[in-house]
Structure 1
């Protein structure tokens, strides 16, 4: 029999979907604090916690970042673009930062927000032509972009889940004696 905590956790995982239409409602400071806490609690190699996040609420800056991509990117008019960066000197910077992003995505689901992973943002921030952009937004030296999340209150029904691939485990057990 599953505990209620297990059921809640699995429901979050089952129900989370990428959202591509958002209400104009801003993410509250309380919600943002919960997302920050979720990132801080993510696992990381040697507990390095090599991530840094830039929360962009300024729509003009978000649209400018969209226009720097080739072709132009789309953040779906989300009220918050949360850009994820990783320390270049870390042992597993990308994997660790992706764990933090996953924590944030599931926390969004838990608190009534939607999210969508935005990949083009890393191409923009990591492009040598825009090497000053991250620093201008408060990102420390020595970090590179991993990706971003468009976050906000969903303005659409969650997409119907597609069939999930089965038989994805190989189970190697102790020999029965």
Structure 2
């Protein structure tokens, strides 16, 4: 196993965080990694924000349908895509994953909270003062994990195939 696969395999969703603030250098590094994600035709149709204000994170948490834990994070990253770009969702999803993995490399837990197509996306865009040409793709609350719980994943054999799929697999 190499460092990259170790980081990927150790990553899991974290929804309870310690009070410890994040170092600005780590935030900058995570944002730099997000902005290096691949994009269709190198369009880079995104805008990245990060919030450390407890009051603003409480407001964001109250707007979401499954993100109440955002209020307890050390920071919350908001990834927006240019709504008129054809592949903004794919591009911003790649950037979100880069951000999450960069944070994991520093031992910082996070949880991907959906933004695209959610009823609260527009309210959060307005709350953060983001221009109208952007739409919320994802929120990533982050911080040092309070505890570690790892959800069981499906067996790899049940979800993969080689060459051609056959129905002989049992799930």
TM-score scaled to structure 2, two decimals? 0.83
Q: What is the SS of the residue equivalent to 1:74?
A: helix
Q: What is the SS of the residue equivalent to 2:31?
A: helix
Unmatched segments (≥5 aa) in structure 2: 165-171
In 1, the alpha carbon distance for the partners of 2:65 and 2:127 equals 21
- The equivalent of 2:119 in structure 1 is 123
Q: Larger C-alpha radius of gyration, 1 or 2?
A: 1
- The equivalent of 2:133 in structure 1 is 142
TM-score scaled to structure 1, two decimals? 0.81
Matches within 5 A, 1:105-120: 105-119=100-114
Matches within 5 A, 1:131-170: 133-159=124-150, 161-166=152-157, 167-170=159-162
Q: Deviation digits for residues 123-157 of structure 1, max 9, x if unmatched?
A: 3122xxx3xx5255242330001111111111112
* Alignment partner of 1:171 out of 138, 145, 163: 163
In 1, the alpha carbon distance for the partners of 2:110 and 2:85 equals 26
Q: Number of matched residues?
A: 162
Q: CA RMSD in A?
A: 2.3
Matches within 5 A, 1:4-153: 7-69=2-64, 73-75=68-70, 77-119=72-114, 122-126=118-122, 130=123, 133-153=124-144
Q: Deviation digits for residues 44-83 of structure 1, max 9, x if unmatched?
A: 0000111111211111111112223457743261111111
8 Å Cα contact 1:82-1:150 kept in structure 2: yes
Q: What is the SS of the residue equivalent to 2:130?
A: coil
In 2, the alpha carbon distance for the partners of 1:33 and 1:16 equals 20
- The equivalent of 1:175 in structure 2 is none
In 1, the alpha carbon distance for the partners of 2:154 and 2:80 equals 32
